[in-house]
Amino acid sequence: MMKKYIITISREFGCNAREIGRSLASKLGVPFYDKQLVDLAALKANINVEIIKESDEIMNKQNRLFSEFVYGSSNSFYSEKAIAAQASVIREIADKKETCIMFGRCADYILREYPNVINFFFYAPLEKRIEHIAKTYNLTEKNAEKMIKRIDNQRHNYYEYVTGKSRGDRSGKHVMFDVDVYGLEGSVNLICEAVNIMFAEND
């Protein structure tokens, strides 16, 4: 028998973490909160995510990426109101009587005092991440590497601003692993095993 729990996922950009998260949610039959967290927090803070788009040589060639990676790239999201809205949305979801998965958005830190949370951090070799991003978004390897470094830097700066900690620190993380070693299915199975160990209850 399993009690209600929350899985948070943090990651390096380009290691296929979102697909792993979605596959995990499908296997467990639980909600997967990703961009919904952005939209709900933006709504609370009166931020229009559609107009916060930085001018960038790579992003201009790939307009479809704007909405995916805008969070944390604009000063609008660094306001106290926006940060408070994000935390409020995450806690409201966490307080529901359902198991769920939260993807990014400093959820591991925001829920640090919740006893029923398990925090994962995914990483992969840079060359593998470059290969994945180049293929996924039809970029050259050079532009894929630029994009990875840019977005990783944005996310690191935002996480550090909100939490005062480094995104990849062991502190606050329960499981950190190289997803390239395990692949998609193996990563999902590894997470399920960790969840079973941490949250399984005897009948």
Mean residue pLDDT across the chain: 82
Q: Which tens digits make up the pLDDT trace of 74-109?
A: 556 677 887 888 888 899 899 988 999 999 889 999
Question: Residue 73: is its pLDDT beyond 60?
Answer: no
* Residue bearing the bigger pLDDT, 80 or 42: 80
Question: Residue 2: is its pLDDT beyond 70?
Answer: no
* Residue bearing the bigger pLDDT, 10 or 70: 10
Read off the pTM. Answer: 0.83
Give all domains of the chain, ordered by start, each with its CATH number. Answer: 6-195 (3.40.50.300)
- What is the 8-class DSSP label of residue 33? E
Rounded Cα distance between 120 and 113, Å, is: 16
Three-state secondary structure call for residue 55: coil
Question: Residue 60: is its pLDDT beyond 80?
Answer: no
| DSSP per-residue string spanning 65-115 | GHHHH-TTSSGGGGSHHHHHHHHHHHHHHHTSSS-EEEESTTHHHHTTT-T
Rounded Cα distance between 96 and 83, Å, is: 21
Beta strands in the chain (DSSP E): 6-11, 32-33, 100-103, 117-123, 175-178
* Residue bearing the bigger pLDDT, 193 or 81: 193
Share of the chain above pLDDT 90, in %: 53
